[in-house]
Every structure is written in structure tokens, then in C-alpha cells.
Amino acid sequence: MRRLLYFSVAIAGILILYAISFISQPAEIELNDLWKYDGEKVIVKGIVKNKIGNVLEISDGKGRCKVYYENNDNIDYGDEIVVLGIVGEYKDEFAVYADEIKICRKWEEENVSLPYLLENYEDFINTNVNVSGYIYSTCKNYFYLTDEFIEYRIKVYYNDSLLFNKFDRVCVKAFFYYDSKNACFLLKIKDEIHGVIKNE
């Protein structure tokens, strides 16, 4: 009888500790609900859409928010990150002041086809992308990338000499953006993390 009592007390203690640890976990929230958690520790997840100094801007497809984090040198446009931090005000809006950030997926790990990129442009606009396609034509400072059926085409700005032939299959690592003046999507190879690789 005494053993049963000790066993019951031990199980009850474990359950209470589990409940306390579960309750003290920060809430994982969507970005458009950030305002509800002012002053609280939260977990948010999103794709990096902008980076200015110590401030990142992330999007989860439903909302956007700024994340303040000093140690962000290894975080790039297009990376998917999870942020643990406290919600507070930043220039008349709510932001997350991060204690830690985990990179779930680097932008270059996901290779997408050109049709997928252009049909789902909202998910990729203003981020680094790793897109596969075929060289269609080349000029001095740019070339055109197309799909295997030559149904989609995009201009890729590239300042180096392009050592590829027409219809070579390539992977292009570049920044994907919308040119509002000319009403078109473009890829720009502008950083040392970008480039063109022949895809055998």
C-alpha cells in the first residue's frame, strides 16, 4: 500500500513538472498576431525578405515583422529562420527582439525550376533564389534563362563572361526582384554568394 502511495506521488510530481514546463514554453505564433503578445517571449518563423544592419524583415506568407538581432552575418535574403525573442515596439510597430535565431533552411538548398519560380513569385520576390533552367540567349551584361519547353523566360543580369552555350542546363543563384519601371521580373547576380553553375 505504501509503495502504491509513493508511486502515485512520484507520477503526480512528474505530471506537475511536465505541465509547468509546457506552460512556461513560449507560444509559437503567426506574424500577423504579433501585436497580441507585446512584452511576451514568442517563437516566430519566416523567410528573410530584407536585411538592414541589425534588423531583419521576415514574412510567413500571412504577415511580416521586423526582427532585431545583432549577430546576423550568416543570415541571407531567402533563408527560412525560427526566432525566439521578446515582442516590443520598434519605430511605431511591433518587432521581435531576438535572443536566438535558428536557420531552418538556407536559400541555396532549395533548387526550383523557372516555371515554379514565376508561377509562385509571391513566395520568392526580393529574396535570393537557386533556380534551374536553360540558357536561351546571351548579351554583354545579361542573358535569358528559359525552361525546357521555352514557355517561360527571365532576364539575368550577369557582369562576368558567360562561358555557356545556348540550351546549356544551368543553376542560377541570384537575387529575384520585380522591376516596376519595365513591369517585369529579373534575376541579378550581384554578390559573391551568387553565380551560374552548369547543371549536368
Q: What would the pLDDT profile of 87-138 be if each residue is shown by its tens digit? A: 999 888 999 999 999 999 999 999 999 999 999 999 899 999 999 999 999 9
Supply the pLDDT for residue 91.
85
Contact predicate 83/98, CB 8 Å = yes
Contact predicate 38/88, CB 8 Å = yes
Supply the pLDDT for residue 9.
55
Name the stretches of the chain with pLDDT < 70: 1-10, 12-24
Using CA atoms of 160, 161, 167, 172 in order, give the dihedral in degrees to the nearest 10. Answer: -20
d(C-alpha 41, C-alpha 23), whole Å: 12
pTM: 0.77
Supply the pLDDT for residue 159.
82
- Which domains are present in the chain? 27-105 (2.40.50.200), 108-198 (2.40.50.140)
16 residue type, one letter: I
